[in-house]
Amino acid sequence: MKNILVTGGAGFIGSNFIYYMQRKHPDYRLVCIRLVCIDALTYAGNLYTLDEARKGNFRFVLGDITDRKTVFALCNEEKFDAIVNFAAESHVDRSIENPEVFLKTNILGTQVLLDACNKFDIPRYHQVSTDEVYGDLPLDRPDLFFTETTPIHTSSPYSASKASADLLVMAYHRTFGTPATISRCSNNYGPYQFPEKLIPLMISKALADEKLPVYGEGLNVRDWLYVDDHCKAIDMILENGKVGEVYNIGGHNEKANIDVVKTILKAVGKDESLITYVKDRPGHDMRYAIDPAKIHAELGWTPETLFNDGIQKTIDWYLNNREWWQKILSGEYKNYRG
Ligand code: NAD
Ligand code: DAU
């Protein structure tokens, strides 16, 4: 029996990780911690997402990772085998509007969890980080990829906060011997993604015959990975990853934004005239591209879902689960407490 603390489990990747782990390891006990405040910090969390998970061997705790008292009380009560930290403010545009909460949750929240690991001798800490810590790559150098030794070079308050957290994790490992690992993944897509991110935003807008806002010329490139492949990689790192190590996760699946948007429009039978080019995101990263050679060679991880299959599965999910995202658009999800 393993008792794992999953932070941020009511969000996109954290919830998919909970479902992945429940399917794969029915003997695990998962405890999910989530933000309690009714403010901008909680907008991305959605208890409807966890309805099915809560039927299993699972406990949900309302809580903020920056709240040391709550986190320590929980770690004292539960004897965790690992903490997997998904909890974060995750949307770049919001970090440009209001950086402060990003620094608080993403950096100070990480520190509280690391302190809890040390105080309660939790044998494993995993930090879910992002390829955005490496900055961006030029479009005219398709031979360049992010490796684990690519220097940190951040562009947005979001990526700066994630990079700061990574540095803290590594410092705790070196100074205190905290048994920590870090993964840096490329853009995820799949079920339960909040409809502010490119793919669910474009699906929901296309279905409503609304304009699809493409930043700049739509030429920026992202390296898309189906969310289950990310969850599988984290599971493998927990099982066999080496503490003190960073693992890049990505599936060599680069697409220009405009091509992703056109793919979505075609799949839902809508016209490209819905596309509208809008003012670019300030500091907009041009291209992300992960070299996943290390996790492949050391842990045997490879992605399983091809983009064409994954995007169709994702579109089908949003078509079959309209209620889920419509409750977000209407705001109703905020009042749901299960
Ligand atoms: P998300 O915004 O969908 O979910 C974040 C979750 O964290 C929400 O449930 C939210 O309520 C919770 N949360 C926020 N502040 C909290 C706090 N102070 N205390 C407790 N819970 C809090 O994010 P996501 O897209 O699922 O991303 C999860 C993690 O993966 C993040 O750390 C992000 O940086 C990283 N990541 C995301 C992607 C991606 O493409 N989405 C790619 C690579 C890495
Ligand atoms: O690379 C990993 C990162 O991917 C994660 O660390 C972040 O948490 C996650 O949000 C994501 O960041 P991006 O900024 O790449 O994702 P987003 O969905 O916001 O945007 C994807 C691309 O689409 C980006 O080039 C901006 C563009 N875009 C986005 C939105 C919301 C548009 O053109 N129009 C839009 O309305």
333 in contact with ligand 1, CB cutoff 6 A? no
Asked if 229 contacts 183 with a C-beta cutoff of 8 angstroms, the reply is: no
Task: Answer yes or no: is pLDDT of 29 > 90.
Answer: no
Span 151-174, mean pLDDT? 98
Centroid of ligand 2 to alpha carbon of 276 (angstroms):
17
Q: Which residues line ligand 2 (CB under 6 A)?
A: 90-92, 130-132, 186-187, 197-198, 201, 213-215, 220, 222, 257, 281, 288
Q: Show the tokens assigned to 286.
A: 């041009």
188 in contact with ligand 1, CB cutoff 6 A? yes
Span 160-189, mean pLDDT? 98
248-278 per-position pLDDT tens digit: 999 899 999 999 999 999 999 999 999 999 9
| HSE value, Cβ hemisphere, 13 Å, CA-based, for 26 | 3
Task: Answer yes or no: is pLDDT of 34 > 50.
Answer: no
The pLDDT of residue 136 is: 97
Residues annotated as catalytic are 131-132, 158
Span 12-41, mean pLDDT? 68
Span 142-154, mean pLDDT? 98
Give the number of whichever ligand sits closest to the CA of residue 67.
1
Range 143-146, long-range pairs (CB < 8 A, 24+ positions): 144/289, 145/289, 145/290, 145/291, 146/184, 146/248, 146/250, 146/288, 146/289, 146/290, 146/291
Task: Answer yes or no: is pLDDT of 36 > 70.
Answer: no
Task: Answer yes or no: is pLDDT of 33 > 70.
Answer: no
The pLDDT of residue 39 is: 23
Span 75-84, mean pLDDT? 92
Centroid of ligand 1 to alpha carbon of 265 (angstroms):
27
Q: Which of 38, 86, 98, 334 to mutate to test the pocket of ligand 1 (most atoms within 8 A of CB)?
A: 86
The pLDDT of residue 337 is: 75
Centroid of ligand 2 to alpha carbon of 57 (angstroms):
34
Amino acid making up residue 294 = K
Atom of ligand 2 minimally distant from the CA of 90: 8
Atom of ligand 2 minimally distant from the CA of 223: 1
The pLDDT of residue 217 is: 98
Give the model's confidence band at 32: pLDDT under 50 very low, under 70 low, under 90 confident, else very high: low
CA–CA gap between residue 142 and residue 151 (Å, rounded): 18
Q: Which of 5, 7, 12 to mutate to test the pocket of ligand 1 (most atoms within 8 A of CB)?
A: 12
Phi, psi at 179, each rounded to 5°:
-80, 80
The pLDDT of residue 159 is: 98
The pairing of beta strand 275-278 with beta strand 221-223: unpaired
Q: Which residue has the higher pLDDT, 251 or 228?
A: 228
Centroid of ligand 1 to alpha carbon of 61 (angstroms):
16
Span 202-228, mean pLDDT? 98
CA–CA gap between residue 28 and residue 57 (Å, rounded): 8
Q: Which residue has the higher pLDDT, 335 or 266?
A: 266
Q: Which of 5, 6, 7, 13 to mutate to test the pocket of ligand 1 (most atoms within 8 A of CB)?
A: 13
Centroid of ligand 1 to alpha carbon of 165 (angstroms):
13
Asked if 147 contacts 291 with a C-beta cutoff of 8 angstroms, the reply is: yes
Centroid of ligand 2 to alpha carbon of 65 (angstroms):
24
Lowest mean pLDDT among 21-30, 145-154, 243-252, 259-268: 21-30
Span 174-184, mean pLDDT? 98
Q: For the chain, what is the mean pLDDT?
A: 93
Please report, for residues 31, 62, 188, 231, 301, the alpha-carbon distance to residue 3 in angstroms, rounded to integers and kept in the order given: 7, 18, 26, 17, 24
